[in-house]
Chain A
Amino acid sequence: MARVKRPVFLFFTCQDHPFLDIEQLLRGVVEPSSLRRVYGLSAAVGGAVPVSDEELQLIISLPSDEWVEADEPRLAELADRGLVLRDGVDPVDEERRERDELLAETGWNPYAALFHFLTRWQGIDLRASAAPGGEPVEELPPIRREDLEQFVAERGPPPPAFHPRGPSGQVTELPLVEGHGGLFELLPRRKTTRSFDAKSSLALESLSIVLRSVFGVHGSALAAPGVVTLKRTSPSGGGLHPLEAYLLVANVDGLPPGLYRYLGENHALELIEALESPGDAHRLGTSFMCGQTYFGSAHVLVVLAARFERNHWKYNAHDKAYPAILMDAAHLSQTLYLVAAELGLGAFVTAAINGVDVDERLGLDGYREGSLAICGFGPPAAEPSPFDPAFVPYVPSR
């Protein structure tokens, strides 16, 4: 007889999926129908699992705060699918128990956990079906006009770039003045780079400047015994700075290719895993970024990983904890763009990452600490990428 309980971080949703009426299908008729199905959404499993009405009743009859003895065969099947926790020495069961407990212990807001762990990707590669006809490719091809036209035909035109609601109140035109010097000259040079110079390497000093300027610590304050507040060049929710930088180095002078952790306390790099060559680093980086080959050639990638438990120490199960963490990542990426632009380097950031794979490779459990996005930088190629928009200057219309 097994001991089971219901996971704490388990939700249910009802979805309609387009299908065919099977009875009509067997009569030779195509009759649209729908599959109305209930899914168990398990943050600990990180997926949606269909459940029958009977299984749903069985699951919600279990407590989540204590183990109960049960010999119902369907519970064993539900435990196999991750919708019921099962006691014992099975390693899969053990991992699921630990994950459910970790979610609670590390202060995850239930809705944030649901979103975060059900939207993490694993093993996705855009190259798998990027060629016309859905065939795999080595390099992502530029978008063809006919594909974009088909996309627009299916979705309709996008909402207009400028808000379509015309002014209904009094309009005060502002003076068209431009700032001069320093930051004002840097800001227009800030841009996303999708093509890096494969023939040059990044100077170690440039790498050091970027890391020190973006992720380095520039001040500390002791708020209370054991409570240290850090100052970086980007804002952070609650002044907690829970974002860490993990580097995938491909081509930097004097620094072998590999995975590294940036130690802000010492302004130093800790080697996590050495890689054989820049090519290996590029391939690993491209797989991290779901096959986005236009980013994979960057000289350095920076995985932005959140120490969720540091943020959750203050914002325990807080509704706004997760949005604040995402904003922290966004602030850091913009600062990295600006520093890269000042150094004449190209930069990018992407949220389209295989977070599960990245976390596993970096040795992060995903619950206490996990990846959110990847930035990259390095000397840009002389020629722009075919993916770059051809911007023309814009002056506010009067």
Chain B
Amino acid sequence: MDRPEQNVRITISDEDAQKFLERLATDDDFRAELEQNPAAVLRDHGIELLQPENVPETVTLPPKDDIDAYLAPTRTRAFGGVHGWLGFAILYYVLGAMPLVVTEDDGSG
């Protein structure tokens, strides 16, 4: 199975879950906080591991670039679905009423 189910209870919205991952890909302070106190920080963000005994006191997170690479395709899928609008950087014209018309910078379009 490509995406195994997690042994985790998450009580935040999909949008907040995505923001949580975005912070792990960009925010050094947040990453350090999580690495030093994983159980509490996860809990503060609505993520509860159902087997807390598996959580060490300190952890080392994957590199930011690895998380960013995982997130890249999910960013352009960040509309539709159950919430309809997730507020991330989107291809705005998908939500507008204009046809897909390109204007060249040199005016030749």
Contact = CB atoms under 8 A, between A and B. Distances in A.
A28 B62 contact: yes
B103 A143 contact: yes
B18 to A, nearest CB: 8
Interface stretch (A17-25, A66-74, A252-260, A305-313): A17-25
A143 B103 CA distance: 6
B56 to A, nearest CB: 7
Contact of A33 (B5, B61, B94, B98): B5
B13 to A, nearest CB: 7
Interface string A22-56: 11011111101111110101000001101010000
A133 B82 CA distance: 25
B6 A121 contact: no
B17 A17 contact: yes
A97 to B, nearest CB: 24
Contact of A28 (B21, B61, B104): B61
A352 B95 contact: yes
A213 B13 CA distance: 48
A36 B17 CA distance: 13
Interface stretch (A163-171, A269-277, A336-344, A382-390): A382-390
Interface residues of B, number: 60
A241 interface: no
A36 B4 CA distance: 10
B3 A16 contact: yes
Interface string B35-72: 00010001000010100001110011110001101100
Given A28-B62, A29-B62, A143-B93, A22 B11 contact: no
A18 B3 contact: yes
Given A13-B82, A48-B83, A30 B62 contact: yes
A140 B96 contact: yes
A118 interface: yes
Contacts of B49: 22-23
Interface of B: 2-14, 17, 21, 24, 38, 42, 47, 49, 54-56, 59-62, 66-67, 69-70, 73-74, 76-77, 81-85, 87-105, 109
Given A19-B21, A23-B49, 7 more contacts: A22-B47, A35-B6, A37-B14, A124-B95, A129-B89, A350-B97, A352-B96
Interface of A: 13, 15-23, 25-30, 32-37, 39, 41, 47-48, 50, 52, 118-119, 121, 124, 126-130, 133-134, 140, 142-145, 147-148, 150-151, 154, 194, 290, 292, 294-295, 348-352, 386-390
28 contacts: A13-B82, A17-B14, A20-B67, A21-B6, A23-B6, A23-B49, A26-B61, A29-B62, A30-B69, A33-B5, A33-B6, A34-B3, A34-B5, A35-B10, A37-B10, A118-B84, A121-B84, A126-B92, A129-B88, A140-B96, A142-B101, A144-B102, A151-B100, A154-B73, A292-B96, A350-B97, A351-B97, A390-B101
